[in-house]
């Protein structure tokens, strides 16, 4: 067993976790002060050298930007702090318990430096951030013969799906179902795509067993987004190569709530923020056909 000439010498020889324990022991206060004076002559000693510690979740998730609260648990007297948050906002902070926002998914390093008159200590940890995002429903389709339609799911950021095929048949929760229609006709197919953050709705008019149907044949949709909507609704029909005569908004009972003669080319923005929450039909009247879209006002 080694022989130590002083308590200070013994403290310096200890592993860090034991050294930290003795720093918090009042019986060692004199030795710690003398040790600090030896290392930093002329500097008024603090009770203990710093030990940087903080509490934060290992992983966090949210629908948009993720906010993380950091809780400072550093040890020592008269401490000052410097936090480093590369990729976060703010990127640095001197606050004891800062709150930081991350706008994108990823793994981020977090550094805390604790300082007092006896020295400094640094701790670095990594947190995992997941920005889930709101779902966006979208699909295409192709015909497989004999009134069989295969649907192609192009939805983004969705976890669950519900399909309504417009012919009174049971709904499907498959990712990309095929559906057999019993009769020729035009069917409004609806896809609901959802995740933890919400639900998105997309509809398409599918002409089954028909030829020379104007308008929305496969791959030429009229798109409206976001859906659900809380403020501005964006309509895009540029893929059709023609302009609607008018655009109208009806409530779920069939009442007309908005109407406009369309002067825009390929797209239009509707102001939905004055409408009560609920379901609405968007009608676009083209020269030879009419397109309907259902949207949900949050």
pTM above 0.85, yes or no: no
CA–CA dist 280, 273 (Å, integer): 13
The mean pLDDT value for 240-250 works out to: 84
Quote the pLDDT of residue 204.
81
Quote the pLDDT of residue 158.
92
Phi and psi at residue 11, in whole multiples of 5°? -60, -40
- The two three-digit tokens of residue 121, written as one number: 């200590």
Identify the CATH homologous superfamily for domain 139-297: Immunoglobulins (2.60.40.10)
**Predicted confidence (pLDDT) per residue in 183-222, tens digit:** 998 898 999 999 989 888 888 888 888 654 444 444 456 7
The reply to whether domains 54-131 and 139-297 share a CATH topology is yes
CB 191, CB 215: distance < 8 Å: no
Biggest CA pair distance of the chain: 100
CB 163, CB 174: distance < 8 Å: yes
Domain 54-131 - what CATH class?
A: mainly beta
**What are the boundaries of each domain within the chain?**
54-131, 139-297
Calculate the average pLDDT of the chain: 81
Q: In what order do the strands lie in the sheet with 185-195?
A: 160-164, 185-195, 198-208
């Amino acid at each position: 067993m080694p022989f130590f000439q002083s308590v200070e010498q013994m403290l310096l020889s200890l592993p860090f976790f034991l050294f930290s324990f003795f720093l918090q022991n009042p019986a060692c206060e004199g030795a710690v002060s003398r040790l600090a004076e030896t290392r930093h002559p002329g500097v008024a000693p603090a009770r203990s050298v710093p030990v940087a510690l903080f509490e934060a979740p290992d992983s966090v998730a949210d629908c948009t930007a993720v906010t993380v609260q950091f809780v400072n648990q550093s040890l020592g007297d008269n401490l000052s702090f410097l936090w480093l948050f590369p990729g976060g906002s703010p990127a640095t902070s001197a606050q004891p318990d800062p709150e930081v926002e991350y706008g994108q998914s990823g793994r981020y390093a977090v550094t805390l430096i604790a300082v007092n008159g006896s020295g400094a200590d640094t701790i670095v940890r990594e947190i995992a951030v997941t920005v889930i995002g709101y779902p966006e429903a979208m699909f295409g389709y192709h015909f497989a013969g004999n009134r069989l339609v295969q649907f192609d799911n192009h939805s983004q950021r969705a976890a669950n799906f519900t399909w309504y095929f417009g012919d009174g048949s049971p709904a499907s929760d498959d990712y990309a179902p095929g559906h057999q229609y019993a009769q020729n006709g035009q069917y409004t197919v609806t896809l609901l795509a959802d995740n933890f953050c919400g639900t998105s709705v997309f509809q398409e008019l599918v002409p089954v067993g028909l030829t020379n149907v104007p308008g929305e044949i496969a791959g030429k949709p009229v798109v409206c987004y976001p859906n659900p909507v809380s403020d501005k609704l964006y309509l895009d029909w540029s893929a059709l190569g023609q302009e609607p005569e008018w655009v109208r908004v009806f409530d779920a009972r069939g009442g007309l709530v908005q109407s406009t003669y369309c002067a825009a080319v390929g797209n239009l923005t509707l102001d939905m923020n004055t409408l009560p929450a609920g379901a609405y039909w968007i009608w676009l009247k083209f020269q030879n056909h009419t397109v309907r879209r259902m949207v949900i006002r949050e």
